[in-house]
Structure 1
Amino acid sequence: MPLQKTLQPLAVHMPSYGIHILESHHSQGFKMDWLNHSFSKIIFIISGSGTLLTRKKNYRLNKECLVYIPPHMPHKIEDARRDPLCLYALCIDWKIFTSRNSMRQLQAFALIANIPVKALFERPLRQILFEQTSCFEGHELMISSLTQRVMCNIVRYRQSAPNPSTREHSSSRQRVVQVWEDLKRNFYAEQQLDEAAKQAGLSKRHFIQIFKEVTGDTWLNQVRRLRLNYAAHLLKETDRTITAICFECGFHDLSNFYRAFKTHFGQPPVVFRTESREKCKRSEILTNK
């Protein structure tokens, strides 16, 4: 079946659960008038090149570029004359966000261009496409959860992103710094070095070298350190069981957790908890005297 190409933007048929992803292959001569949607859009460029125009600024669009467009932002796309765009557009109705605070966080954003695609969008995009096509039981819930994950990633990226003047031409070091910042928030998950290097767009060898320069230690040691420091925090501040803390911090085996903790802090978790709380009580007594 020949590829369907279009000379104008495709109509968005929003389903009841408020999320729709469409694939648009532009023909040469594609024309788009100014649009102003009530929903937000995430645009991912598959191939081609062009320009995204807004009232304040224009943005170059190239392969694997990702752009977030908030609701009610006037915009239009102009393709390069001999290199028409092929793109995905993830359209998101605000009603899926039940948290008013989440809505305020996202609505506060202007357009965000050139987000690191592999880190934030590529995997969930594939999952959303699969769920929308397959329509398996629970697909609406899965699509909603994946979309909210993407939006959360954008919020966090916005908070820790490089300066806007350098974001479009981020260096290898800046991309590794971004991976490091992501790791600090996701240390409890399965962390594969190969995936981290891919996220940064670097070879494994190059990533290992820069990561050590940035953080002062290896990937494995930093993952372990982040998990153990968080475990120490939970031991001091909560009454969770050692087993629960082991699980929450990303360890799969309790005996391995005990050994790693004792090696790092010089005492087993139970002793660490007891002594930490005794020190806290003594400090409170001295403060109140």
Structure 2
Amino acid sequence: MEKSAPLVYPRADYLRRKFPFSIGCFRHRPGDFPPDQYHVREFYKIVYFFRGEGEYLVDGRRYPIQSGTAILAHPRFKTTYRIEGAALELCNILFLPEFLREFLVKLKTRSGFFSIFNEDEPVMSGLYVFPCVKELEKLILRMQEEYNACEENYQVTLELLLADLLIQLSRNAQKGMLKFKSEDIFSSLNQLLEAHCTEPFSLAETAAKFGVTRSHLCRLYRSRSGSTIMAELNRLRLAEAKRLLLETDLSVTEVCYKCGFRDLSCFFRNFHREMGVTPLAFRKSGRG
């Protein structure tokens, strides 16, 4: 648990060229990162570890790192390192989604992995930890060479290489190399349900965003909550329905569709089962 406010790494200090991208190799020693000091950023970060061992601490959770580990982290995550041995040798790739705007328009529709860059949604998959992707080392070193050389059209080359890197990471995620801790999934899923309970919901699409199967997601949620995902979604929608009935003059039919139900008879059955009265009777009694 950190004892002080996280340090903020501002965009202006790290993305100094005319486009929002930077890459550099570093050697971090244990004393560089006090255990009680976390950091947040104004940009996304991919870290690739060449040598060394330790842990990547994210909001108090610990993820093991070693040679070949790669990490993609959302800016809002509070992070630091716990370094074992002499040092960690790594490469930091820093960027903003606008650097890949044209690519992301296409890539977001192909895999839930890219929802991390969707500014219109709450962060679901805010951290990806890949334990061993050594085959990406040549690609990362090529990016470093391009960035340092600054030859003609090198920005375009970097855009292509970064898109390639993200695609390779997304494929690794789909193959099951994504190491998502169950508490991360449970917490992120609850955030998603609360923020989007009134919108259409797909178990299959949601599971894909976390890199797990639909059945695995359902089992995980039940084991953590004692309830089902759809039961929780139903509870949240009914809570919103009760609020709308008491605080607005919307018709019962309008409330039904506004709180996320797509069938009026289903809404009536669920509401009566939960409250013991019809929506209209609930409104009348609540307004007394």
Using structure 1 for the length normalisation, give the TM-score. Answer: 0.48
Higher relative contact order (CA 8 A, sep 6+): 2
Using structure 2 for the length normalisation, give the TM-score. Answer: 0.48
Structure having the higher strand fraction is 2
